Amino acid sequence: MPDDDQSGRLQQSWQRNAEAWTRVVREARIESRRLATDRAILEALREREPARVLDVGCGEGWLCRALAAQRIDALGVDGSAALVEQARAAGGRFEHLSYAELQARPRRFGVFAAIVCNFALLDAQADRLLGALAEALEPGGALLIQTLHPWSLAGEGYRDGWREERFAAFAGAFTPMPWYFRTLESWFALLVGAGLRLESVREPVHPQTGQPLSLLLVAVRAS
C-alpha cells in the first residue's frame, strides 16, 4: 500500500481510537509506560529546564499536564480532533493541528526550548516535519524523540517498513494502526537530514528483565 494511504489510515485510527487510548493512558494500563518510559521522557525534559515546550502528537495530553504541574509552559498539538477534545477536557493548552499544517508554518506558535515527540512519529515521511521542528527550536533548544526500541521488533526483519499495531493486549477495544518501523541507522539519517545533531541516546530498560523499552533521542540544531 502506498505511503499516503497508510498515513491516512494511521491518522484515522487516532480519531477512532481516541476514547480507548485516553482510557488506557489515564488508567496506566501500558506496562512499559508505567515502569520506565513516562519517567524517562519527563526526566530528559526536566534536565534541560526548558521555559517553553511543544508536545507534538500530544494525544490526550498527559505529558503537557505533567510539565504544567512542574510550572513548565507546555503546548500540545495533535491531528486527532477527538484526542484534542479529551486533552482540553482534562485541562491544559492544546491545538488541533495536523503535522502537515505544522510543517507548513513551523513558527506559528513561536519558538521553543524543547520540542517533544513521545511515541508520536509513526509515519514514513517524517523528514519535512523534523526539518520544520528544527526551525521551531530556539537557539540551544532540543528535539526529544521517544520511540519504540528498534531491538523490540528486530526479529521480524531489521529494515524500515510499515507494520501493523493490533493493540492485542486490549482485546478488541482498538482499530488496528499502521506505523512505520525505523532502524537505528534510519533514525540517525532522519535527524541529520533535518539539520539536527544527535546529542544523546537513552535506552530505558525493563527493571526486571533488562529488555529495552524505548529509544530516546535528544537532538539539537546542527550549527
Is residue 178 close enough to count as binding ligand SAM by CB under 6 A?
no
Among 36, 74, 120, 137, binds ligand SAM (CB under 6 A): 120
Sheet of strand 93-96, all strands in order from the earlier edge strand to the far edge: 93-96, 73-78, 52-56, 112-118, 137-147, 215-221, 196-202
DSSP state of 187: H
DSSP, residue by residue, 38-104: HHHHHHHHHHT--SEEEEET-TT-HHHHHHHHTT-EEEEEES-HHHHHHHHHHSSEEEE--HHHHHH
For ligand SAM, the binding residues in 90-109 under the rule CB under 6 A are 98-99
CB of 139 to ligand SAM, least distance (A): 26
User: Phi, psi (5° rounding) for residue 204?
Assistant: -60, 135
By beta-carbon proximity to ligand SAM, the closer residue of 28 and 51 is 28
The span of 53-61, 135-143, 167-175, 198-206 binding ligand SAM (CB under 6 A) equals: 53-61
By beta-carbon proximity to ligand SAM, the closer residue of 72 and 122 is 122
User: Phi, psi (5° rounding) for residue 50?
Assistant: -75, 140
Nearest-CB residue to ligand SAM?
79
Is residue 63 close enough to count as binding ligand SAM by CB under 6 A?
yes
Closest among 86, 79, 84, 58 to 7, alpha carbons compared: 79
The span of 78-86, 167-175, 182-190, 196-204 binding ligand SAM (CB under 6 A) equals: 78-86
By beta-carbon proximity to ligand SAM, the closer residue of 54 and 63 is 63
With a CB cutoff of 8 Å and minimum separation 6, the contacts of 100 are none
Contacts 24+ apart (CB under 8 A), 197-206: 197/221, 197/222, 199/142, 202/40, 202/44, 203/149, 204/36, 204/37, 204/39, 204/40, 205/36, 206/32, 206/35, 206/36
By beta-carbon proximity to ligand SAM, the closer residue of 62 and 112 is 62
The span of 9-17, 64-72, 131-139, 155-163 binding ligand SAM (CB under 6 A) equals: 9-17
Among 40, 72, 122, 132, binds ligand SAM (CB under 6 A): 122
By beta-carbon proximity to ligand SAM, the closer residue of 32 and 118 is 118
The span of 8-16, 155-163, 168-176, 204-212 binding ligand SAM (CB under 6 A) equals: 8-16
Contacts with ligand SAM by CB under 6 A lie at: 10-11, 14, 25, 57-59, 62-63, 78-80, 83, 98-99, 118-120, 122-123
